[in-house]
Amino acid sequence: MDVLLSEQLLVSALVLASLYGLVALGLNLVYGTMRLLNVAHGEIVMIGGYVAYWGFSRFGVSPLLSMPVAALIGALLGGVVYVALFRRMLRESRLSVRIEANSLLIFFGISIILQNVTALAFTADQRGYAYLDRVVHVADVSVEENRLIILAIGAGICLCCAVFFRYTRAGSAMRAIIQQRDAASLVGIDVERVNMQVFVLGFALAALAGTLISMTQQISPFVGFPFTISAFVIIIMGGLGNLLGSLVAAVILAFVEVYGVAIVSASFRSILVYGVFIAVLLLRPQGLFGRSIAVR
């Protein structure tokens, strides 16, 4: 029982929460504006991780410096995916339900492609590196330096995003589309351009999260998937399209995961995450903060 009260666990949970918050933010943006469920999101995270790994192990570049590079690569990928695959599909507004299911399959195909391209390039072995893993002591707690940095950077990026959404035109446009897609174009918002910006931003955030994650754990081509699942749990719990809600849900899930595993055991982690996933989808598809959808 003592272990539950340890500050280590608290720090782990906080770090995970900030990582989850970043990952979920990108996913939620794409969903909120375009109703697309990007199941390849975790693979973008994975790619960000590999950029950092490669930069460090090959060139000795600090992952912190790789971050903008990863973000750029993510952004580019986002732009390409949107223009090549989704722009056309979103234009032809046939049955929207089919578009949502079809787009999910497209993203699924993309995730398979990305996983296997990475496996081809780097082999399927786990890759890790040690960076800033010196232990420091902050107010009675011993924690690795990189964890603190992640916490700081993660929180910082979330804050920047909050500012972006509140005070910039582009950010407001995104929020407008999330709230009322049709009305947004009526007031002169160039929906296609914002869609593109959303893809770019969402993918960039995912890649950023990936570089941070690579500092704390080993990565492999298949490490992205659990993050996708967790991100889905978070955005559904927080309410699809509800950016603030997903941040709150990220904290909740991170704590449930870290403390749940501490109580039970590590091998139950997958059961826990998928169990929560199923429960959330079945019981409250509108999220903890969304309105109740009356369906018979």
Partner 1 sequence: MSRGSGIVLAAIALGALGLVPVVASDYTLSVALNFLLWSALALSWSLFSGLSGYVSLGHAVFYGIGAYVMVVCWQVLPIWSAVLLAGLAGGVFAFSLGWPCLRVRGPYFVILTFGIAEFTKYVVVTIEAGLGRTGRLLIGTPSLAALYEAVLVLAALSFALFAAIRRSRIGAGIIAIRADETAAESIGINTNATKLALFTLSAIIPAMAGAIMALRATYFEPMQAFSPVTSFTIVTIGILGGADAPPGPVLGAGFLVLISELLWARAPEIYMILLGILLVIFVLFVPEGIYGRLHLLAKPARR
Partner 2 sequence: MMLLRLEGVGKNYGGVTALRGLSFNVAAGEIVGLMGANGAGKTTAFSLIAGTQRPSHGEIWFDGKRIDGKRAHELSRLGIGRTFQLVRPFGDLTVRENIAVGALYGRQPAPSRAVAEARAEEILNEVHLAKLSDRLPGTLTLAQRKRLEIARALATRPRLLLLDEVLAGLNAAEADDAFEMIRAVHAAHELTIIIIEHVMRALMRLCGRVVVLHHGEKIAEGTPQDVAADPRVVDSYFGARAS
- Contacted entry of partner 1, partner 2, none for residue 229, CB cut-off 5 to 8 Å set by kind: partner 1
Interface of this chain with partner 1, residues 256 to 295, rule: CB under 8 A: 267-268, 270-271, 274-275, 277-278, 281-282, 285, 295
Q: Which amino acid is it at 73?
A: I
1, 5, 84, 95: residue in contact with partner 2 (rule CB under 8 A) = 95
- Contacted entry of partner 1, partner 2, none for residue 294, CB cut-off 5 to 8 Å set by kind: partner 2
Least distance (Å) from partner 1 to the CB of residue 144? 29
84, 187, 293, 294: residue in contact with partner 2 (rule CB under 8 A) = 294
Task: Give the nearer residue to partner 2 in terms of CB position, either 187 or 294.
Answer: 294
CA–CA separation, 53 and 47 (whole Å): 10
Interface of this chain with partner 1, residues 28 to 57, rule: CB under 8 A: 37, 39
- Contacted entry of partner 1, partner 2, none for residue 263, CB cut-off 5 to 8 Å set by kind: none
Task: Give the nearer residue to partner 2 in terms of CB position, either 84 or 95.
Answer: 95
9, 61, 64, 119: residue in contact with partner 1 (rule CB under 8 A) = 119
Binding mask 54-93 for partner 2 (x = CB under 8 A): ----------------------------------------
65, 83, 117, 130: residue in contact with partner 1 (rule CB under 8 A) = 117
Task: Give the nearer residue to partner 2 in terms of CB position, either 134 or 296.
Answer: 296
Task: Give the nearer residue to partner 2 in terms of CB position, either 2 or 92.
Answer: 92
φ, ψ of residue 127 to 5 degrees: the values are -125, 135
100 binds partner 1 per the rule CB under 8 A:
yes
3, 83, 105, 141: residue in contact with partner 1 (rule CB under 8 A) = 105
Q: Give 148: exposed, middle or buried? Use CB within 10 Å, 0-12, 13-18, 19+.
A: middle
Note whether 37 and 182 are within 8 A (CB).
no
**If you write DSSP's letter for every residue of the chain in order, what string do you get?**
-HHHH-HHHHHHHHHHHHHHHHHHHHHHHHHHHH----TTHHHHHHHHHHHHHHHHHHH---HHHHHHHHHHHHHHHHHHHIIIIIHHHHHS---HHHHHHHHHHHHHHHHHHHHHHHHHHH-SS-B----S--EEEETTEEEEHHHHHHHHHHHHHHHHHHHHHHHSHHHHHHHHHHH-HHHHHHTT--HHHHHHHHHHHHHHHHHHHHHHHHHHS-B-TTSHHHHHHHHHHHHHHT-TT-HHHHHHHHHHHHHHHHHHHHHS-GGGHHHHHHHHHHHHHHH-TT-SSSPPP---
Where along the sequence are the contacts to partner 1 (CB under 8 A)? 37, 39, 85, 88-89, 97-98, 100-106, 108-113, 115-117, 119-120, 229, 232, 267-268, 270-271, 274-275, 277-278, 281-282, 285, 295
Where along the sequence are the contacts to partner 2 (CB under 8 A)? 95, 294, 296
